[in-house]
Amino acid sequence: MRSGRQQKPGVKQRRGGWFIVVFGGIFLLAGLAVIFFMALSPLLKWYGSQSWLPVSAQIEMLELDSRRSDNSDTYRVNTRYRFDFNGASYSGSDASLYDGYDNIGSYWQELYSDLKRHKQSNSAVVWVNPQNPDESVLDRSIRPVMLLFSSLFGLVFALAGAGIIWFGRRSGSKSSRYAALSSLADAGGHEATAARAAFSQGIRSSARSSYRVMMVVGIPFILISLPIMVAAIPDALRSGDYAVLLVLIFPLTGAGMVFGGLRMRSRFLRIGATPFFCDPLPGCCGGQVGGYFEVNSGRFSQRPEIRLCCIDTYTTGSGKNRSTHHRTVWQESVVASVDMLASGQRLRAVFDVPDNLPESEQTEGCRGTVSWEIQCEGLLNMAGPGAAETMEFSRSWEVPVVRGQQRSSWQPPVSQQAQDRSEKQQRSLESAARQISTTASAGGLSLDSAAGRNKAVFLPL
């Protein structure tokens, strides 16, 4: 019988999901505020001022105000002017459609120089709202660089917030499904059927998330750097400051990540979605975890190994020193059982799981939150328009695991189990021999690991 204490971690996880949603909402609102106040509001003012009338004005006060910070100086123009309209005298203080201080381009310096000349020659012109003469402005021009910068900057924050909200909602939804399965692991009837319906289409592979993450992270690198390049690089190059070209590393990094994401997406689509179907559902600590997936766009050159991993994900540190760790609590691997289908192959695996391991989403007794993953790697022979091609296959699926005694409806034959154990041992020896050279000597045993075995990971990082 399940205790209420064991179900509390799922509740905590759902609350954590709502906290993430609120946190993402702050980013989303901040990004929308930047877009409204720094891009949309000046555009609305500019559109509304198209019917305003030019009137001669006398500039009484004019200064280029600056604010100094640790990294840079920001500017704005402060002014006070007077003008006559329809026989009445008015005063104003708006030099521009833009409020606040900034250092995007040299707009404020150029505006100050221009207004200074008009002040000295007494030839200033102010734009006046004929319907409300108290509304006036000396310069009603739009700043394209500022418009681009604020739009992209706000868009990045808004997209980041939307992404965080999506992740929080997805996390909460997943926790709810796991909690329902956990409470109904040994139940039947309508409620159990409804709880399992969320998994009826299988569990999506994390490969789809991987290429999306690459693209979602890479695009902001490009968007953030574009306004910086437009605002900073031309002026810096004119002054001979070629070191500013180092900023190009950001769009190049972003472009590289987007390109890598597109390549991953192309490979994902070519292989297919490969959803994983749990059998039993949910898997059980004290019972079995297993299931199958299908490959319809190629055939494995040899039966791959499938791993089941129990992973404790936790964070350490805070602020810029905060880091996420993944600790493997338990893992087991088996050689996949392959069934030939008309359209491809079906790969099955089943694991006997000890009853002393933590459930999915559990936090009690762990450093973080527990998840269970099915992982499979191998080589696929892909038929192409020309010669056949060998493609690496690497997929993982997060599966729900609770405490119980359920067993899979499919069990490998005894003869196959013995063959699988022998084949698995042989593969382990071959893998160790490829990765580590062993040399016996009078002083003991020398183990040499070949350099450069992980270039695909090392070089991009």
> 276-437+453-461, what's its fold?
Immunoglobulin-like (2.60.40)
How far is it, in rounded angstroms, from Cα 202 to Cα 181?
15
- Mean pLDDT per 10-residue run, the chain (461 residues)? 41 61 88 90 92 96 89 90 95 93 88 95 95 95 85 83 78 62 53 67 85 80 71 70 75 87 90 93 93 92 92 84 87 92 91 93 82 93 73 92 91 73 63 61 68 61 59
| CATH 2.60.40 domain span(s) along the chain | 276-437+453-461
Q: Give the distance, in angstroms, between the CA of residue 202 and the centroid of all CA atoms in the same chain.
A: 23
Q: Give the pLDDT of residue 118.
A: 95
Q: Give the distance, in angstroms, between the CA of residue 38 and the centroid of all CA atoms in the same chain.
A: 26
Tokens at residue 68, please? Answer: 């100094």
pLDDT digits (tens, 9 = 90+) for 80-139: 999 999 999 999 999 999 988 988 888 999 999 999 999 999 999 999 999 999 999 999
Best CA proximity match to 97, nearest among 58, 53, 43: 43
Contact 221, 251 (CB under 8 A): yes
Q: Give the pLDDT of residue 9.
A: 44
Tokens at residue 179, please? Answer: 């909690």
Place of tokens 């956990």: 182
Ramachandran region, residue 272 (left: φ > 0; alpha: ψ -120 to 50; beta: rest): left
Q: Give the pLDDT of residue 449.
A: 66
pLDDT digits (tens, 9 = 90+) for 187-236: 554 555 666 777 788 898 988 878 888 887 788 777 777 766 766 677 66
Which residues neighbour 283 within 8 Å (Cβ) at sequence distance 6 or greater? 289, 290, 291, 353, 372, 399, 400, 401, 402, 406
Q: Give the pLDDT of residue 79.
A: 96
Q: Give the pLDDT of residue 321.
A: 78
